[in-house]
């Protein structure tokens, strides 16, 4: 059976990282860790699992492309508070 996908923006920040680790550990979802810094994403996913997606949430076309998946998807934001929000997590 194919697992549903969770696309988690801000997956390498404090809150997003903890959430990503928990979802990956549960094993019920294919977790796609999204963020702006490819090296940070690669390091995180090497250590914890998941797939990487370099993505700037301010780039509408990139966000739409990331959501173009062939199976059910849940989307979460690990931090930042939406457009224009100050993140506060590492790398901000």
For residue range 25-44, list pLDDT tens digits in order.
999 999 999 999 999 999 99
The full DSSP string for the chain is -PPPEEEEETTTSHHHHHHHHHHHHH-SSEEEEEES-HHHHHHHHHHH--EEEE--TT-HHHHHHHT--SS-EEEEE-SS-STT----STT-
* Distance in angstroms (rounded) separating the CA atoms of residues 62 and 31: 18
Confidence of residue 22 (pLDDT cuts 50, 70, 90): very high
- For residues 77-82, average pLDDT: 59
The ranges assigned to domains in the chain are: 10-59
What are the tens digits of pLDDT across the range 60-77? 888 777 777 665 566 666
The helix/strand/coil state of 40 is helix
């Amino acid at each position: 059976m194919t697992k549903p996908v969770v696309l988690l923006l801000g997956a390498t920040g404090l809150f997003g990282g903890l959430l990503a680790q928990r979802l990956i550990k549960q094993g019920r979802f294919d977790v796609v860790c999204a963020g702006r810094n490819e090296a940070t994403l690669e390091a995180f996913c090497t250590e914890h699992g998941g797939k990487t997606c370099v993505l700037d949430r301010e780039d509408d076309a990139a966000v739409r492309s990331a959501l173009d998946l062939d199976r059910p998807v849940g989307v979460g934001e690990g931090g930042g508070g939406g457009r224009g929000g100050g993140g506060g997590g590492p790398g901000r």
